[in-house]
């Protein structure tokens, strides 16, 4: 089966073509085409992701990404297509909320034949709803025009599967597994009793960990996205042994549950640096202490969940899992203290948002694919939960 996957939940516009062989979870996957446009340079001006801008950029770049992914997959065949009046009207109606996208897509479809695609997988949540809608409406238009079924995908399940993806297959993991999902919008501990059986056992009560990285970076005068910037400064501070400038709290580290809170940590940074002009050494030291605090909390909470739930596999995913210090500390700690637990981190290029992960999660639910008419009922759900993969309505 060949899958066309689409990701537009935040500030990456991504389209992939992935062919699969065998049944989930024992299938093999070939990434035939993979195109991604990151909007970070555009959002940097605003200091964070601006939903209306994200929506406009998705509408502008989806068709070029589709074209790029198909070309890479050698599935781009130029040939003039004759549209019926009805098709023209239907496509315009389907995309009327996405200015510019209808014209771009119609021009593309008029000059290319249908590629060999069996399924479209698209993120339906969680994420920024205006951004999600662009991908959903785009998938809907392609589904209508090419008569291909669509499967709505939970973005967080995508992060989980991309964390264990080894390039061409998913390993046989031992259950129960625990996923620690750390991204710009989420901080969750998810219990997996088996494939496709998810239960969120803890989450942040305020800011997501990536959001805290981004906000603290901003306070330190670093550009968006702040995660990698903080990581670089913290590494320098550790390497050069900079003196500690501030001591930050480890919020909820000993609370008897699996929840998190990062807004107090962010506020503690604000108080520590306000009215001061920091030297480069001091800034790097703040970055280090912040990264230490976050890492300790994540590690302690994951450890508690592993102990209390008899976990055999730990899967860390989401954009913040690209952080090298968190990776090192987790590898070090769990190999020493819990050698029986297998720990997975995603390959670096699949840590932050991408569409390969949407193809992986789409294939896991290929049996639930919807026809064009059924898919027309699907709505973007910014807060879509991973619990038992509740379907968006
Ligand atoms: O998963 P993702 O790409 O998007 C969401 O679904 O939110 O995660 C983006 C987040 C941003 O907050 C970014 O600062 C953070 O991941 N991030 C990092 C690193 N790379 C990206 N945080 C810490 N260290 C990194 N190396
Ligand atoms: Zn994400």
User: Does any ligand 1 atom lie closer than 6 A to the CB of residue 183?
Assistant: yes
pLDDT of residue 93: 94
pLDDT of residue 99: 86
pLDDT 10s digits, 227-281 = 999 999 999 999 999 999 999 999 999 999 999 999 999 999 999 999 999 999 9
User: What's 99's DSSP letter?
Assistant: T
CB 315 within 8 A of CB 344: yes
User: Does any ligand 1 atom lie closer than 6 A to the CB of residue 149?
Assistant: no
pLDDT 10s digits, 286-302 = 999 999 999 999 999 99
Ligand 1 pocket test, candidate residues 7, 217, 225, most atoms within 8 A of CB: 225
pLDDT of residue 38: 97
Distance from residue 319's CA to the centre of ligand 2 (Å): 6
User: Does any ligand 1 atom lie closer than 6 A to the CB of residue 225?
Assistant: yes
How big is the CA angle at 127 (ends 126 and 131), to the nearest 5 degrees? 130
pLDDT of residue 393: 41
* Closest by CA position to 10, among listed 384, 354, 389, 346: 354
Ligand 1 pocket test, candidate residues 51, 123, 131, 184, most atoms within 8 A of CB: 184
Distance from residue 184's CA to the centre of ligand 2 (Å): 7
Distance from residue 16's CA to the centre of ligand 2 (Å): 16
Distance from residue 75's CA to the centre of ligand 2 (Å): 28
User: Does any ligand 1 atom lie closer than 6 A to the CB of residue 227?
Assistant: yes
Distance from residue 111's CA to the centre of ligand 2 (Å): 33
Q: Strands of 342-344's sheet, edge to edge?
A: 197-203, 187-194, 177-182, 313-317, 342-344
Tokens 């306000």 label which residue? 274
User: Does any ligand 1 atom lie closer than 6 A to the CB of residue 208?
Assistant: no
User: What's 389's DSSP letter?
Assistant: G
Distance from residue 276's CA to the centre of ligand 1 (Å): 28
Ligand 1 atom at minimum distance from 184 CA: 7
Helix (H) or strand (E) holding 212: helix 209-219
pTM above 0.85, yes or no: yes
How far, CA to CA in Å, does 367 sit from each of 68, 131, 371?
28, 26, 12
Q: Which residues of the chain have pLDDT under 50?
A: 392-393
What is the separation of C-alpha 80 from the centre of its chain, rounded to a whole number of angstroms?
A: 36
The residues near 268 (Cβ < 8 Å, ≥ 6 apart) are 248, 249
pLDDT of residue 391: 52
pLDDT of residue 45: 86
Ligand 1 atom at minimum distance from 322 CA: 26
Q: φ and ψ at 49, to 5 degrees?
A: -80, 130
Which ligand is closest in space to the CA of residue 155? 2
């Amino acid at each position: 089966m060949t899958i066309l996957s689409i990701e537009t939940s935040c500030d990456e516009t991504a389209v992939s073509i992935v062919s699969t062989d065998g049944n989930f979870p024992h299938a093999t996957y070939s990434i035939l085409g993979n195109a991604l446009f990151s909007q970070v340079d555009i959002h940097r001006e605003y200091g964070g992701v601006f939903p209306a801008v994200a929506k406009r950029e998705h509408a502008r770049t989806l068709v070029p990404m589709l074209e790029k992914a198909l070309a890479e997959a050698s599935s781009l065949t130029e040939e003039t297509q004759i549209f019926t009046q009805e098709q023209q009207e239907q496509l315009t109606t389907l995309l009327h909320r996405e200015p510019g996208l209808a014209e771009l897509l119609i021009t593309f479809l008029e000059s290319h034949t249908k590629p060999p695609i069996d399924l479209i997988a698209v993120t339906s949540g969680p994420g920024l709803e205006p951004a999600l809608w662009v991908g959903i409406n785009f998938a809907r238009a392609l589904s209508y025009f090419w008569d291909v079924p669509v499967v709505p995908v939970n973005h967080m399940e995508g992060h989980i599967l991309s964390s264990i993806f080894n390039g061409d297959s998913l390993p046989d993991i031992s259950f129960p597994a625990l996923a620690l999902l750390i991204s710009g919008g989420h901080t969750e501990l998810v219990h997996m009793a088996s494939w496709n059986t998810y239960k969120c056992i803890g989450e942040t009560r305020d800011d997501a960990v990536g959001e805290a990285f981004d906000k603290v970076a901003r306070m330190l005068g670093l550009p968006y996205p702040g995660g990698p910037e903080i990581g670089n400064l913290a590494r320098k501070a550790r390497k050069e042994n900079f003196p500690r400038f501030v001591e930050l709290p480890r919020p909820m580290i000993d609370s008897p549950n699996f929840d998190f809170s990062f807004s107090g940590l962010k506020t503690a940074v604000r108080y520590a640096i306000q009215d001061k002009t920091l030297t480069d050494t001091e800034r790097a030291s703040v970055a280090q202490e912040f990264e230490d605090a976050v890492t300790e909390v994540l590690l302690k909470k994951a450890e508690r969940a592993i102990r209390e739930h008899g976990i055999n596999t730990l899967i860390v995913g989401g954009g913040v899992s690209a952080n090298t210090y968190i990776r090192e500390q987790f590898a070090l700690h769990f190999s020493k203290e819990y050698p029986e637990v297998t720990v997975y981190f995603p390959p670096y290029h699949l840590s932050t948002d991408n569409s390969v992960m949407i193809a992986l999660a789409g294939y896991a639910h290929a049996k639930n694919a919807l026809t064009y008419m059924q898919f027309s009922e699907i709505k973007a759900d910014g807060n879509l939960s991973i619990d038992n993969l509740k379907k968006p309505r």
